[in-house]
Amino acid sequence: MRVTVSIVLGILCLSLLLSADTLGFVEQKFSDLHFERGQWSRTEHSPCYTYTATMDGAIVDVLRIGMGNFVPFKATKGLRVMVCGSVAAFDEGFETGLPSAGGMAQRRSPPH
Please give the chain's pLDDT, 112 residues, in tens: 555 444 434 443 433 333 333 445 678 788 899 999 999 999 998 899 999 999 999 999 998 887 788 889 999 999 999 999 989 999 989 998 888 765 454 444 433 4
Q: Which domain holds residue 69?
A: 23-108
C-beta separation of 53 from 79 below 8 A: yes
Structural domain contains residue 95 = yes
Structure confidence at residue 35 (pLDDT): 95
- Residue 44 pairs in a beta bridge with 49
- Total domains in the chain come to 1
C-beta separation of 51 from 33 below 8 A: no
Structural domain contains residue 1 = no
Structural domain contains residue 10 = no
Structure confidence at residue 99 (pLDDT): 82
Structural domain contains residue 92 = yes
Structure confidence at residue 19 (pLDDT): 36
Structure confidence at residue 17 (pLDDT): 38
Q: What's the pTM value of the predicted model, to 2 decimals?
A: 0.66
